[in-house]
Amino acid sequence: MKKVLTWLVLAFVVFYVISAPESSADFVRTAGHALGDAASSLASFFESLA
């Protein structure tokens, strides 16, 4: 069941990227910025502990 669910999610992602490349690129860009902000916040936190 887990393998089938994984393939379904992968198929949905591929379909989404093909059908709406601009919005999927915006999503990836936004997620990248969010991860970068989170990493910067964690770095600041650990620097303040030292």
Tell me if 15 is assigned to some domain: no
Contact 41, 48 (CB under 8 A): no
Tell me if 16 is assigned to some domain: no
* Most distant pair of Cα atoms in the chain: their distance: 48
Tell me if 50 is assigned to some domain: yes
- The predicted-structure confidence for 1-50, as pLDDT tens digits, reads as follows 999 999 999 999 999 899 999 999 999 999 999 999 999 999 999 999 97
- The tokens describing 3, both together, are 């393998």
Tell me if 40 is assigned to some domain: yes
Q: Which domain holds residue 50?
A: 21-50
Tell me if 8 is assigned to some domain: no
What is the number of domains present in the chain? 1
Count CB atoms within 10 A of the CB of residue 16.
13
Contact 24, 16 (CB under 8 A): yes
Tell me if 4 is assigned to some domain: no
For 33, list phi and psi in degrees, rounded to 5. Answer: -65, -40
The distance in angstroms from the start CA to the end CA of the chain is 47
Report pLDDT for 46. 95
